[in-house]
Amino acid sequence: MIIPLNELLVESINNKDIRNYLIQNFSEYADKKELKNMKGIKLLQTWLEHHTDNIDVSCEIAPLFVLYDLRLVSAHLYPDDDKEKKLSYCCERLGLSEKERNYRIIAEAIVQKLEKMYEKLANALIERRNQ
DSSP 94: T
| pLDDT of 81 higher than 90 | no
Q: How many CA atoms lie within 13 A of 42 on its CB side?
A: 6
- pTM value is 0.92
DSSP for 3-14, written as a single string: HHHHIIIIIT--
pLDDT in tens, 86-127: 999 999 999 999 999 999 999 999 999 999 999 999 999 999
**What residues contact residue 96 under an 8 Å CB cut-off, 6+ apart?**
105, 106, 109
H-helix segments, the chain: 2-6, 15-25, 33-36, 40-51, 57-60, 62-74, 80-93, 103-129
d(CA 127, CA 51): 10
Residue 25: pLDDT band (50, 70, 90) is very high
Average pLDDT, the chain: 94
